[in-house]
Amino acid sequence: MKKSLLFTLLGLLGTAFAEQITILGINDMHANIDGVARLTTCVKQEREKAPQLLLLSAGDNRTGSPYVDCGDHPGAAMIQLMNHIGFDLSALGNHEFDSGPAALAYCINAADFDFVSANVFPTDKHGIDLKPYKIFERNGVRIGVLGLLQVDATGRPDAHPDMCKGIGFLDPLKVAGHYKYLRSQCDVLILLTHLGFETDIELARQFPEADAIIGGHSHTKVENGHLENGVLITQTQNKFKYLTRLTLEVENGKVVSKKAELLPLSGYEADAETAAMVEQTKSQPFFKRVLTTVKRDIPRRESLGCMMADAIRSCADTDIAIVNMGGVRLDTFAAGPLSVADVYSLDPFGNDIVRMSATGQEILRILENITEHDDHGAPCVSGMNYKAVWPKDSARLRITSASLADGTPINPEARYTLAINSYLCATTADMPADAGVSLKTDGAACMINFLETMPEIDYAGVSRVELIKE
């Protein structure tokens, strides 16, 4: 009897208790600083329940607010707010490169947390302190986090090529395979990615050793995690709409259960201290200046793109202007005042406007090719209208008809003057032989000059593209 009791006690002592690990993930905050105070409240409440939690960002922390993206140190204001909340780690997103290597280095050095990306290789001269992965220890559990960044067919992230000069990039899926050894060094292995949901699915198929993927880039709302090949994939849409709570039970060095929950940040009160920091960040008079009044709500992104195209065509004094849909960073705009801050929210990139000469055929080819590197939608135009088909299995549009604003068909052989931004000049295939001339001014400056001459604008319902998706 005594021997039996002794064995029972020894068995109980040898049984490991499951350790609960909490990881909070967010992606594509895009400098939407009005949401930071609610995130602070949510994180504070979660830390009360799990003091050892990790708070991770899957990248694109910046680009979307003039208060963050402009000034001497673009992006730094967002880093200050992330420091205040207490982020533990961030992946690089493609928009972290929007102001070039020096600005990126400044932000990384200003952060109280590390940045990880295993497939990005800056040279020493840039001073970019980047790690491929980081291993944390929480309650005796070792948690490895590997960072990965998307690259397109050109081998670069979706950013202006000039902003990526001197930095090397490799295919993230190929690079990930070289880090499978991390599995033996960690109890929990997380992939912190800025690849997009579909690529995360492919990554999970190739990397079943991972426990979870905290992803970004595609702005996908993943309700309670998507389980693929045993890997739990999460993503929180964008702009502080949600936070993911990832809960893992770890026993004997292995994850025995995992679940993901989306927390809607709209349900949290704003933290007063953080809100005061945000207001201080927004206290720059230059951005408050009202340029014009929007007569009616503008409910469509294309209509805003048409306004942007009108502005750069006016600025460049050309027959036609083209704006890529990915360069239109607001989806809607409410009736009322439109300020300088709104302009920079609409176009935060600072790309120069280029004036060039092109044949009608070259202009149509540009429109067809833009979507190879910008899948947000058909390009917006000024001075013309067009109809197009977007084949299901193609990255390119097919223009079926096109005319000038007065209805005159565009002549493939005739020459027209064209205004377009420098990003499109650098990324679009088969650009005209005439490289054009930079106006040494960007899209936001063109919009300011254009809008401040008009007491009122009305772009509600404006559409110049008829698109059929096959």
The confidence band for 70, taking pLDDT boundaries of 50, 70 and 90, is: very high
Q: Is 80 exceeded by the pLDDT of residue 9? A: no
The confidence band for 6, taking pLDDT boundaries of 50, 70 and 90, is: very low
381: tokens are 């135009």
Instruction: Check which CATH number belongs to the domain holding 386 and give it.
Output: 3.90.780.10
pLDDT of residue 14: 44
H or E element that contains 76: helix 76-85
Residues 263 and 295 in one domain: no
In the chain, the number of structural domains is 2
Q: Over pLDDT 90: what percentage of the chain?
A: 91
**How far apart are the C-alpha atoms of 189 and 182, rounded to whole Å?**
7
pLDDT of residue 266: 97
Q: Is residue 425 within 8 Å of 353, Cβ to Cβ?
A: no
H or E element that contains 363: helix 360-370
pLDDT of residue 258: 98
Q: Is 156 helix (H, G, I), strand (E, B) or coil?
A: coil
Q: Which pLDDT tens digit goes with each residue over 187-208? A: 999 999 999 999 999 999 999 9
**How far apart are the C-alpha atoms of 387 and 45, rounded to whole Å?**
51
Residues 261 and 136 in one domain: yes
Residues 73 and 31 in one domain: yes
125: tokens are 């001269």
Last residue of a domain, one of 280, 308, 341: 280
Edge-to-edge strand order for the sheet containing 465-469? 398-404, 384-390, 465-469
Domain of residue 289: give its range.
284-469
Q: Is residue 404 within 8 Å of 383, Cβ to Cβ?
A: yes
pLDDT of residue 250: 98
Last residue of a domain, one of 280, 309, 337: 280
pLDDT of residue 107: 98
Residues 327 and 450 in one domain: yes
Residues 173 and 64 in one domain: yes
Give the bridge partners for 466, in sequence order: 387
Residue 434 lies in a domain: yes
Q: Which pLDDT tens digit goes with each residue over 399-428? A: 999 999 999 999 999 999 999 999 999 999
Residue 5 lies in a domain: no
Q: Is 90 exceeded by the pLDDT of residue 12? A: no
Residue 407 lies in a domain: yes
Residues 404 and 361 in one domain: yes
Edge-to-edge strand order for the sheet containing 231-234? 133-138, 141-149, 188-194, 212-214, 231-234, 226-228
Residue 212 lies in a domain: yes
Mean pLDDT for the stretch of residues 95-116 = 98
**How far apart are the C-alpha atoms of 127 and 166, rounded to whole Å?**
12
Instruction: Check which CATH number belongs to the domain holding 189 and give it.
Output: 3.60.21.10
Residues 68 and 135 in one domain: yes
Last residue of a domain, one of 253, 280, 307: 280
Give the bridge partners for 254, in sequence order: 251
Phi, psi values for residue 72, rounded to 5°: -70, -30
Residues 318 and 224 in one domain: no
Residues 270 and 339 in one domain: no
Helix-helix angle 272-281:76-85, to 10 degrees? 170
Residues 334 and 429 in one domain: yes
Residue 31 lies in a domain: yes
Residues 330 and 436 in one domain: yes
C-alpha dihedral sign at 71, 76, 82, 84: negative
Residues 393 and 335 in one domain: yes
Residue 132 lies in a domain: yes
